[in-house]
A and B are shown apart, each in its own frame.
Chain A
Amino acid sequence: MKSSDNSRREFLATTLLAGATLAGCGGNPFTPEELSDVKPSGEMVKLLSVDGEIIEVDKAFLKPVPELPALSNTEARVGIPGKKFAMVIDLSRCKSVKKCQTACNHMHHIHPGQNWIKVYPMQDSEKTAPYWQPTTCMHCDEPPCVKVCPVDATFKRKDGIVLIDSDRCVGCRFCMAACPYSSRVFNWEEPKIEKEIADKPYSCETSVPQKIGTVGKCDFCPDMVRQGNLPHCVSACPNGVFFFGDILEDAVTNGAETFRFSELIKDKAGYRLMEDLGTKPSVYYLPPVNRNFPFENIEEDKKS
């Protein structure tokens, strides 16, 4: 564990240094008195402030923002304190555009053909209406996968997220057999990713890079959430199907709209998948009523 931490710190330090050099600023970016030492270069850069005003800043004062938080495996296993994450998926808005899937596959460098997010065409019985059902990992509060894992490689965090530690997974695939939502995939072969990605230091929170012989699944993008951003599927969806938020704050958002979680579930009669199994998912569904789109299964229509 120690050594991977070190390599991560080193990695961060080098990227920071590289960034600092690029920004035309010498010296150690970690020393606090550094700012007073900075000599204005005279080269000004135009920036957009948070108030929407255009401001000019000397280039020498720009500091690169680290992409990855320096996070130990122990911290990644505990989770973000004081949070309990949940997702609400509004089935009345989904028309299977699958932008969620594309964004997820792209950001997590998932093996071609495999998906962490799936958009199922569902029809509960012959005479009931068909609808699209996107599924992620349910991040259950009673996760069957965590119960069966022999080595604590998949674990439940205090903030409700279920993660996989690909550095510990032994590849027994008991979790895949245990998960009733089929949300887990296995890296059967060496992941087909560019060297640059493969060389990134692994973190349970980014799930990148995926490793051969281990299990992967939707991770609720804790790296994004830690930075105050939304998971990739949520921000990628053009129809605002996915809402993400913190149950303790009682708020969920799809980026454009924000709702009180409890009211949204109450007003729209939210439910969870396979409630009878007692897995207590963190993903809630809003029924496909008053839909924004008619159900059209283009793939099936093409086939027939």
Chain B
Amino acid sequence: MEKLAENKIIEDLLPQKFGKKGQMWVISLLAICALGFYAYCRQLYFGLEVTALRDYVSWGIYISNFVFFVAISLVGSLITAVLRLTNVQWSTPLTRIAEIIAVSAIAFAGLIIIVDMGRPDRFYNLFTHGRLQSPIIWDVIVITTYLVISLLLLYFPLLPDLKIMISFKERNGKWLQKFYELIGSFWKNKPEQFKITNKAINILSITIIPVAFAIHTVTSWLFATTYRPGWDSTNFGAYFISGAFLVGSGAVLIAMYIFRTQYKLEQYITEHHFDKMGKVVVLLALIYLYFNINEFLVPAFKMKKSEEEHLMGLFTGEFSSIFWFAISASMFLPIFILIFKKGRRPKWAFIAGILVVVGSWFKRYLIVTPTLLHPFLPMYDVPKNYLHYFPSWEEWSIAGGSLAGVLLVITFFARIFPIIPIHETIIETDSHEKV
């Protein structure tokens, strides 16, 4: 990193008010959320009938969205914990981006699962009548744990930055000032305080790794603990986790590019960072590809009768276009782009990130739906609309609203807090200078 004066760093990294573009962005996200909310009100009133879900395809894009959110949230643990514990220096400016993606996505994962419930009014039954033998209860436990740890991992490194922000009273305005003081005025930059938080962050970084593995493994078990072709796989835990790290890193690439260009952070999120993250994504895509080969080649080699219809539907049948799109967009194309040095430049890396995220969303859809259309006993004696699944406008709106909600949380977070850790950046610049 180039030599930067402390004041300049603070000036550059303090949260900024929304410009024209920012306002438009927030308004459009709010509009999408409002439409989703309206659709959900309709669903509450009429029941799940407003969805295209029926007895065979009883889980649809709500559940695939849930899996997508849980997946993308795993990146928090990768960047803040795994890279921190392995002493990777370059990831510092990316930690907060990764952590807010994690917090926001996991919170909406919880919300979307409530949206999928037939009786959300009985949500409390999960606590009053919960049975530990059900993987759903495991998921409830690990997801809330992960949310709490992620919030703490977001909050502790924020404390020194809060002290800096509190000192800019005029800039903050009355309400923000009060809010900063409420959550951070006890922080005095004392060495003991640093000692305690550093220790806490280290402990949390170690704890969050098994919890992160648990959330996505348990999510994969919601499928793998059933008998159905396409889900009945011992590969599922590792397959889900590798895919989760990939989609989360893709999301970080996108966020890096947008924050870099919109907040003029070229000196902080440098080409070097894109180069490093690009390499990480290539590695993760290769690992995910490996598990995909395991997941599809082995059953396809045997072609058991129950698996055959499902696999052929994906390879050459009704889902083949989505299947090959998802495979190429989430793995082949990003690998191809990012393997070249030129491809790891910000713009190309951004495109690769978008491909990864979009491809991964469709991949989650393919994990959930086609299996349900291939039950053991043939689909028979049901109304015609039970035999296919295409989400209704309410489902699209609610799913879209939840995606917009995640982006909105990230956007507002970046408006209120520095998206790149100020204090840590100053320390690192200092230590570089000393070297």
Residues of A within 8 A of B (CB): 113-115, 118-121, 135, 144, 147-153, 168-174, 176-178, 180-182, 184-190, 212-215, 274, 277
Contact = CB atoms under 8 A, between A and B. Distances in A.
A113 B379 CA distance: 13
Nearest to B385: A113
Interface stretch (B26-34, B46-54, B289-297): B46-54
Contact of B131 (A135, A152, A189): A152
Given A113-B382, A115-B381, A186-B118, A147 B55 contact: no
Contact of A214 (B118, B131, B223, B381): B118
Contact residues of B: prevailing secondary structure: loop
A174 B47 contact: no
Interface stretch (B97-105, B122-130, B257-265, B355-363): B122-130
Interface string B215-229: 000000011011110
Given A118-B380, A181-B376, A172 B116 contact: yes
Interface string B179-208: 000000000000000000000000000000
B377 interface: yes
B426 interface: no
Contacts of A168: 122, 125, 129
B119 interface: yes
Nearest to B53: A188
A173 B377 CA distance: 18
B377 A181 contact: yes
B136 interface: yes
B131 A171 contact: no
Contacts, number: 131
Contact of A186 (B48, B131, B225, B226): B48
B329 interface: no
Given A168-B129, A180-B228, A182-B375, A173 B380 contact: no
Contacts of B332: none
Contact of A148 (B59, B135, B140): B135
* Residue among B47, B59, B119 facing the most chain A CB atoms (10 A cut-off): B119
Contacts of B46: 189
B222 A174 contact: yes
Given A150-B137, A188-B48, A277-B227, A120 B380 contact: yes
Given A118-B380, A120-B380, A172-B136, A151 B118 contact: no
A177 B134 contact: no
Given A135-B377, A213-B118, A214-B118, A186 B125 contact: no
A148 B221 CA distance: 11
B111 to A, nearest CB: 15
A170 B126 contact: yes
Nearest to A135: B377
Nearest to B136: A150
Contacts of B225: 147-148, 178
B159 to A, nearest CB: 38
Contacts of A177: 58-59, 222-223, 226, 228, 372
B38 interface: no
Contact of B123 (A147, A170, A174, A190): A170
Interface string B315-340: 00000000000000000000000000
Contacts of A181: 376-377
B37 to A, nearest CB: 19
A113 B383 contact: yes
A277 B130 CA distance: 26
Contacts of A174: 134-136, 222
B47 A190 contact: yes
A213 B114 CA distance: 13
A149 B125 CA distance: 11
A121 B377 CA distance: 10
B85 interface: no
A213 B48 CA distance: 7
